[in-house]
Amino acid sequence: MTRPVPGSPPLDRLHHVAIAVADIPAAVRWYRNVFACAVAYEDSSWALLQFENVQLALVLPEQHPPHLGFVHPRAADFGALVPHRDGTRSTYVPDVDGNFVELLDPTDAEGAEL
């Protein structure tokens, strides 16, 4: 495993992976039946499942693009931060292959660290 050079900034942190599903409640039931995870958030358009080492977002493709979400100290440098229902603020950018990457501000709308 590559380690940062002493004195360099910390490595960026993967906050969540978002995958497209056809039915939020059915997907939540399946993941909870197969894996030990907790529901951190759920509504009709997306759900967030908490695992020990990462969060998994289940999204409807017409509501949210499948993506990787990273906490980034300079998220606002990539575009205007949009507030979300869960209190996070972020912007989406495409990577070089057109995959969506969500860059989340390290603090939520109330100033708490993510």
pTM of the shown model: 0.85
Tokens standing for residue 28: 């939540």
Q: Looking at this protein, which amino acid is placed at residue 69?
A: G
Tokens standing for residue 46: 């997306």
d(CA 91, CA 47): 19
* pLDDT-based confidence at residue 22 (cuts at 50, 70, 90): very high
Domain ranges of the chain: 13-104
d(CA 103, CA 89): 9
* pLDDT tens string 30-46: 999 999 999 999 999 99
CATH superfamily, domain 13-104, is 2,3-Dihydroxybiphenyl 1,2-Dioxygenase, domain 1 (3.10.180.10)
